Amino acid sequence: MTILRTPGTYIRRLVTADATEMLELRERNHEFLKPWEPLRQPGYLTLGVQQIEIQSGDQQWAADRGYAFGIFDSLSDELVGRLALSNIVRSAWQNATLGYFVGREFNGRGHCTNAVGLALEFAYENARLHRVQAATMLRNIASARVLEKNGFAFEGVARRYLRINGEWEDHNVYSLTVEDWPGPVSI
């Protein structure tokens, strides 16, 4: 199993056994994450749906279409969030979209910054991608800082880019290519 580490954080591929802990994390953070995520279908916060999400991630991994990771605290081994390289396109583009979250109780500890750095290491050294892009809502300053700390460059504003919490939201778009990657960042 692929495990990438910094002193405070590690990421690894999620397995079905993680579904209970993911469900608990999502239940505790449902209201906190709601303004930042798409509307969820009824039943999303069930063990069965979390297991299906992890199994879907396995299928994406096997098809080289996406790589989902759990974000873990290195000292406690507690699941603190999720990160994914998604929408992978090969051929001439060699690109992925990066998305992530950490629970409210884990904000401000560097887990997200570390996890994004580890995901970039995986993207460029293991998955052999050329470019990773990410988008943040205009008001999500903390997420933008995570990207900037990892060397992402601001590309512009994508109008009505994603439907978040029922509303089409403008997003700041960031990208990083392997040529500009500063290497792993650990805080």
> For 38-53, how does the pLDDT look when each residue is reduced to its tens digit (9 = 90+)?
999 889 999 999 999 9
* Spatial distance between the Cα atoms of 39 and 17, rounded to a whole number of angstroms: 25
Quote the pLDDT of residue 183: 75
pLDDT of residue 2: 76
Kindly state the percentage of the chain with pLDDT values over 90. Answer: 94
How many domains would you assign to the chain?
Answer: 1
Yes or no: say if 71 and 115 are a contact pair by the CB < 8 Å rule: yes
Quote the CA–CA distance of 43 and 34 in Å, as a whole number.
Answer: 15
Is 186 part of any domain?
no
Q: How confident is the model at residue 159 (pLDDT cuts 50, 70, 90)?
A: very high
Mean pLDDT of 133-140: 97
137 in a structural domain? yes
pLDDT of residue 182: 81
| Domain presence at residue 26 | yes
| CATH number of the domain within which 18 lies | 3.40.630.30
**187 located within any domain:** no
Please report whether residue 102 resides in a domain.
yes
Per cent of the chain over pLDDT 70 is 97
In a domain, 185, yes or no: no
Say what the pTM is: 0.95
Q: What is the pLDDT of residue 113?
A: 96
Residue 38 structural domain:
3-180
